Amino acid sequence: MLQVSYIRENREKVLERLSVRNFKQPELVDEIITLDEKRRSTQTRLEQVSAEANSAAKKIGELMRSGKKEEAEAIKNQTSNWKNEIKSLGEDLAALENEQQQKLFLLPNLPHISVPKGSTAEENEVVLENGEKPNLPENALPHWELAAKYNLIDFELGVKITGAGFPVYKGKGAKLQRALIAFFLDEAEKAGYDERMLPLMVNEASGFGTGQLPDKEGQMYFVGEDKLFLIPTAEVPMTNLYRDVILKEEELPVKNCGYTPCFRREAGSYGAHVRGLNRLHQFDKVEVVQVAHPEKSYEILEEMSLHVQSLLQKLGLPYRVLRLCGGDMGFTSALTYDMETWSAAQQRWLEVSSVSNFETFQSNRLKLRFRNSEGKNQLAHTLNGSALALPRIVATLLENNQTENGIKIPEVLVPYTKFEWID
């Protein structure tokens, strides 16, 4: 959530950065500023009347002790007016604060200066491309057919048990899944991340803290009786570990990682592009999260990007890095890099990771601060990244490594799978 003081003091810059996102409600900026002027004016008047009432109360006591009852009673007659005005001003202030807060919820984060302007994914900027795309024979199979051929994943059984988008992994398919999770966690540990095992459901305050609420409420599964949400990513519970926390400056950066299943309704997602593992309602992911000093967060973002790239390199997957344009970025992000692997059988790029810097957007909601060198509390920056999401990694591994003899397992995974081939 943007800070009102920043909006008020940087109106033109806020409007300019929102235009990079093609934000459709720029009038909200002036509405928020107007509400803030009314709020501050009401707050000032409330403080003045309260001060007058407190001063009068002291004076009444002094007059009574001095035996000047008539003067004291005269002042007492005015106290009901002060009480009524204080009550009315308090109600007005609460209403203004609530209205301002609701409008602030509608403003997305401001894009970093490096974010290109654009409306769709086609306008994202390709930062780099790495690795050679494999040349597969004409009879190469997409991953959903490979999964059936080698009895790795049963999509229909998942439909029977739950519904579309909830696959059942079997045999070597399940072992490959488990191997990838362990490999990603081990690599995160080598990179200095401290592992966490996290709840798979969060409360409303947690969803609000990281920006899923109210923006993405319709994309999350809701447990109505308990008013809990199934997590869309480990980012939500992991970042909320630091809600209402004041860190010491020397503790930064805080680096956490964790594996969780993730749950997304993906409402309205249909068509061939979501077949097989391309888009699921439940999937596994290893997430990395950092809480950083504002002066170092963009340096850390680049480090996180390199960490994700190193995983793809070790798996031998061709990939590219995209800097997302304003119109394709998430609501809470200031800058996002997407990593995509090349699916040789499908002949298209598949997103496997997003790494984002949220600057103070989440920490303002979370009240996540650190005590700086001057002894003052300051909002930290938060960052997160998929390292990695498994479904499309599995899809590209199966497709790109298929041979006449079976599917070759990347060398780095063999110590985890305990087998070199799927045949």
- 302 assigned binding-site residue: no
Can you give the pLDDT at residue 271? 55
The answer to whether 384 is a known ligand-binding residue is yes
DSSP track, 173-199 = HHHHHHHHHHHHHHHHHHTTPEE----
Find out whether 233 is annotated in a ligand binding site: yes
Give φ, ψ of 180 to 5 degrees.
Answer: -65, -40
Would the pLDDT of 4 be above 60? yes
Tens-digit pLDDT profile for residues 173-224: 999 999 999 999 999 999 999 999 999 999 999 999 999 998 777 899 999 9
pLDDT of residue 65: 75
Residue 265 counted as an annotated binding residue: yes
Residue 129, SS3 per DSSP: strand
Residue 103: its pLDDT value, please?
A: 95
Q: Is 266 annotated as a binding residue?
A: yes
In total, the chain counts a number of residues equal to 423
Q: Is 127 labelled a binding residue?
A: no
Banded pLDDT at 408 (limits 50, 70, 90): very high
Enter the pTM of the model: 0.92
Was 196 annotated as part of a binding site?
A: no
Q: For a pLDDT cut of 90, what percent of the chain falls above it?
A: 87
Q: Do residues 165 and 279 touch, judged by C-beta distance below 8 A?
A: yes
Question: Which secondary structure element, helix H or strand E, spans residue 290, and what is its range?
Answer: strand 282-292
Q: Taking 80 as the threshold, does the pLDDT of residue 73 lie above it?
A: no
Confidence (pLDDT) at 116? 96
Q: Which residues contact 382 (CB under 8 A, 6 or more apart)?
A: 239, 289, 290, 291, 292, 358, 362, 363, 366, 368
What mean pLDDT do residues 136-144 have?
A: 93
Q: Quote the pLDDT of residue 172.
A: 98
Query: Would you place residue 270 in the very low, low, confident or very high pLDDT band (cuts 50, 70, 90)?
Result: low
Q: Does the annotation place 352 within a ligand binding site?
A: yes
Burial environment of residue 405 by CB neighbours within 10 A (0 to 12, 13 to 18, 19 or more) = exposed
Banded pLDDT at 71 (limits 50, 70, 90): confident
Domains identified in the chain and CATH numbers:
4-104 (1.10.287.40), 121-422 (3.30.930.10)
At 52 the pLDDT is: 87
**Calpha distance 355→43 (Å, rounded):** 41
